[in-house]
């Protein structure tokens, strides 16, 4: 049944051995560890985080940053979602089978390498934003359990001679994204769809890879990030409805 198949493909509770013998392992492990730790650090103590979007439990912050005239504003978003687990959230974010159902910026997605049950390499092209050139990205994606009831997906740009950058119509962008999720439920109770809450921290830094007008770029991400996080979280809630809670 669908339920059984989903259960089997949920993010594994421990690192898959096939990943630890892959050439990318040390980079994947180091960057994932750093990103997950940073994701759970608040924005209160750090200077420079500006709130730019707020809706219900969702808060989005950015830090204005330009390198050689290119906008690379780091983004950090917090959200709380009831009725789904951290593991379920990460399952839907990591598994490419669902990607086109919640990701609206994509034109194409290809699986470049299936490293293990918890790591893959993707090539994606994005919708073009006038007047800039179209962008593509090549990145590894890794899902892991990091603590009690805590799962996270980290995506980070990589290279591959079979997917050279800036050869066709696309400019290669560089991305580091982390979706870190932690579930909680009342002490002494069993977790259920009715009492579970998942806190989400989503961090993203996109280097556009080449010239893009700063005003257009900031206008695009101010619109697209909130749209993504609202759409993705309600998609997961919808998918999980009526299914047994996977924690
Ligand atoms: O994390 C998300 N998705 C994951 C799975 O796809 C993965 C993707 C990361 C890529 C993020 C970069 C997206 C750039 C998109 C550019 C084109 C957008 C077109 C939209 C118009 C309809 O981790 C969720 C990602 C949510 C993305 C929000 C948009 C962020 C925009 C950042 C600026 C991009 C600069 C390059 C383009 C320059 C154009 C002026």
Residues 32-79 pLDDT 10s? 999 999 999 876 666 779 999 999 999 999 999 999 889 999 999 999
Q: Give me ligand 1 centre to Cα 82, in Å.
A: 26
Q: How confident is the model at residue 121 (pLDDT cuts 50, 70, 90)?
A: very high
User: Does ligand 1 come within 6 angstroms of the Cβ of 216?
Assistant: yes
Residue 8 has pLDDT above 70, yes or no: no
Q: Give me ligand 1 centre to Cα 186, in Å.
A: 36
Classified as helix, coil or strand, 55 is strand
> For the segment 129-148, what is each residue's pLDDT rounded down to a tens digit?
999 999 999 999 999 999 89
**150 vs 75, 143, 179, 196, CA distance in Å?**
21, 11, 11, 13
- Given the DSSP bridges, would you call strands 171-172 and 135-147 parallel, antiparallel or unpaired? parallel
Which whole number is the average pLDDT over 153-170? Answer: 96
User: Does ligand 1 come within 6 angstroms of the Cβ of 141?
Assistant: no
**From its phi and psi, is residue 188 left (phi > 0), alpha (psi between -120 and 50) or beta?**
left
pLDDT of residue 9: 84
Token pair in block for residue 11? 């993010």
Which whole number is the average pLDDT over 147-161? Answer: 96
Q: How confident is the model at residue 1 (pLDDT cuts 50, 70, 90)?
A: very low
pLDDT of residue 41: 87
pLDDT of residue 44: 67
């Amino acid at each position: 049944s669908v339920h059984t198949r989903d259960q089997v493909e949920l993010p594994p509770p421990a690192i898959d051995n096939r990943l630890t013998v892959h050439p990318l392992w040390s980079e994947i492990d180091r960057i994932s560890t750093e990103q997950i730790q940073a994701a759970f650090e608040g924005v209160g103590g750090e200077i420079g985080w500006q709130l730019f979007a707020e809706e219900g439990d969702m808060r989005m912050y950015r830090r204005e940053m330009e390198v050689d005239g290119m906008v690379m504003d780091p983004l950090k978003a917090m959200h709380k979602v009831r009725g789904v687990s951290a593991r379920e959230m990460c399952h839907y974010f990591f598994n490419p089978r669902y990607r086109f159902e919640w990701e609206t910026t994509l034109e194409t997605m290809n699986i470049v390498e299936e490293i293990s049950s918890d790591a893959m390499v993707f090539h994606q092209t994005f919708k073009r934003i006038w007047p800039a050139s179209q962008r593509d990205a090549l990145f590894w994606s890794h899902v892991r359990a990091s603590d009690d009831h805590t799962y996270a997906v980290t995506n980070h740009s990589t290279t591959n001679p079979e997917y050279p950058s800036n050869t066709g119509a696309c400019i290669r962008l560089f991305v580091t994204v982390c979706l870190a999720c932690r579930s909680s439920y009342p002490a002494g109770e069993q977790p259920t769809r009715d009492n579970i809450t998942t806190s989400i921290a989503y961090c993203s830094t996109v280097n556009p890879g080449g010239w893009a007008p700063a005003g257009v770029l900031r206008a695009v991400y101010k619109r697209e990030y909130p749209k993504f996080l609202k759409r993705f979280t309600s998609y997961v809630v919808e998918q999980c409805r009526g299914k047994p809670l996977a924690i």
